[in-house]
Amino acid sequence: MSETLDRIDASDDVLDAAVPPDVATEGDAIDWWGMLTDPKFLSNPYPDLKRVRERGAVHFDPVTGLYFVTRSREFGAMAKTLDMGRDTRFWANGWNSPENRARDPETYELFREFQPQMINANAPDHRRTRSVYDKAFRPGDMTRYLPMMEEECRKLLDALPDDGPVDFMDAFANPLPHRISLRLFDIPAEMDETVAKWIAALSWLGNIVMSPEQKREAQTAQREFKEYVRGHLASRSADPGNGLIGISLAAAATGTMSEEETLNNVAMLISGSRTTLTLLGNGLLTLIRNPAQFELLRADRGLMRTAIEEMLRYEPGSSIIPRAAINDFQCGEVRIPAGALAIGLVGAINRDPERFDNPDEFDITRNPNHHSAFGGGAHICIGKALARMTTQIAFNALMDRFARIELAGEPVWWTDRSDQRGLERLPLRFGRA
Ligand code: HEM
């Protein structure tokens, strides 16, 4: 989500106006804000998500004025309809409202700068910008990068200590997708650390609460990252090549994308790697905690594809997926009015018993597996093939090299962010025999 709830005008007048007449809120005492930001919930959100899902598919929260979607069918409908989009300028009480612009111009500037790019665009601008990159990110085109991905993976594996305890996030899950993303855009290795800092600072834009310091850091990172991308693209204008740099430069030269859209899209496509680190960490931890499933995968690597889908379903890295209503939209039994913001809660949607048998069971043979970890509709994650390939390479390489992969301490979940579920630390011990 690209906004912070602390910018919602929560005066009584606004809230009264926001309560739609056809939504029963009486008796609905779910403390959404408290729940979604509670460190206990963030360590293990599934019992609470089950509770709210059982109470209804679509909820209105009179405190924040937000709608929450907890079931698969309703989320699918919301993700697909053209009545709801990802352009949050349609959110009447969001960052672009006159009240919020006047009250907090710094935040307004931050989001205004970030706005022009595919993830924040509605039709038809969304199709125009996404179609620039769609083909390049399909599995067929992505396979040309396999040798590079395997090489980046091998370098990190070579540095893992035999039998010594190591933080898997620090030593492997954080750097691997990051390095792959930078190489895709021909960014040299000496920039790895600087770009990682920019991406980390910018990632707070997705959280539902941002501190003033995080806003300032995000603003600086945004300025520096975009300037770097501008210079990087310019340096390649004489020799753009036929990769992602060439595609970006051609779209800017023909006017398919404005300069702002080009810079933001390139920065976003590089930043997307951050989510893959959650799949690597959450996925490996889930395998370790389900040893029979881990053994099954070791014995039959043909199950890798369905195993990764199950990791995405069972422990999704993106926790919330927003849509802003352009027109009124009937979502299940609830009418979401134009100007409202609705949030899909992926952890609840992915364990909806109406969609999945035994939803709380981790089953790497589950097939079909229509999870929503990559969102849905026109905005479904453009990097999903890249994420799947990265993870397949990584898990295969880890199992090829190490006969034993065990916990070496307590894993620590992020408890300071509600938009993503990932691991701060995953202490592991790797053994060859
Ligand atoms: C496991 C890894 C990943 C997960 C769980 C994930 C998740 C998501 C989700 C939930 C969305 C929003 C979809 C919606 O609104 O319906 C999204 C969109 C997007 N993701 Fe990913 N993502 C991952 C990896 C990546 C990677 C590696 C990239 C880099 C190319 C990337 C780039 C994007 C972009 C550019 C969008 C916006 C697409 C659009 O608006 O058309 N993601 N992703």
Q: How would DSSP label each residue in 83-150?
A: TEES-GGG-TTSTTSHHHHHH-HHHHHHHHHH-SSGGGPPTTHHHHHHHHHTGGGSHHHHGGGHHHHH
pLDDT digits (tens, 9 = 90+) for 333-383: 999 999 999 999 999 999 999 999 999 999 999 999 999 999 999 999 999
Distance CA 426, CA 433 (A): 21
- CA-closest residue to ligand 1 atom 18: 381
Portion of the chain with pLDDT greater than 70, in percent: 94
- CA-closest residue to ligand 1 atom 12: 375
Pairing of strands 341-345, 66-69: parallel
Pairing of strands 334-336, 165-167: unpaired
Answer yes or no: is the C-beta of 268 below 6 A from any ligand 1 atom.
yes
Pick the atom of ligand 1 nearest to 391's CA: 1
pLDDT band at 53 (very low <50, low <70, confident <90, very high): very high
The pLDDT of residue 232 is 98
Answer yes or no: is the C-beta of 375 below 6 A from any ligand 1 atom.
yes
The pTM assigned to this predicted structure is: 0.94
Top pLDDT among 210 and 208 is at 210
pLDDT above 80 (res 403): yes
> Measured between alpha carbons, how far is residue 335 from residues 14, 75, 179, 306, 321 in Å?
18, 14, 44, 36, 18
Query: What 3-state DSSP class applies to 323?
Result: strand
The pLDDT of residue 36 is 96
pLDDT above 70 (res 14): no
pLDDT mean over 286-294: 98
Distance in Å, CA 270 to ligand 1 centroid: 11
pLDDT above 60 (res 4): no
pLDDT band at 28 (very low <50, low <70, confident <90, very high): low
Q: Which token pair is 39?
A: 């460190």
Answer yes or no: is the C-beta of 349 below 6 A from any ligand 1 atom.
no
pLDDT mean over 261-277: 96
Lowest pLDDT segment from 16-25, 82-91, 175-184, 292-301: 16-25
Pick the atom of ligand 1 nearest to 321's CA: 15
The CATH number assigned to the domain with range 5-431 reads 1.10.630.10
Cβ pair 417, 1 in contact under 8 A: no
Cβ pair 347, 46 in contact under 8 A: yes
Distance CA 36, CA 424 (A): 18
Answer yes or no: is the C-beta of 153 below 6 A from any ligand 1 atom.
no
Distance in Å, CA 433 to ligand 1 centroid: 37
Q: Which of 248, 278, 312, 374 to mutate to test the pocket of ligand 1 (most atoms within 8 A of CB)?
A: 374
pLDDT above 50 (res 21): no
- CA-closest residue to ligand 1 atom 17: 381
Distance in Å, CA 17 to ligand 1 centroid: 34
Distance in Å, CA 382 to ligand 1 centroid: 6
Pick the atom of ligand 1 nearest to 177's CA: 27
In terms of Cβ atoms closer than 10 Å to its own Cβ (0-12, 13-18, 19+), residue 306 is middle
pLDDT above 90 (res 32): yes
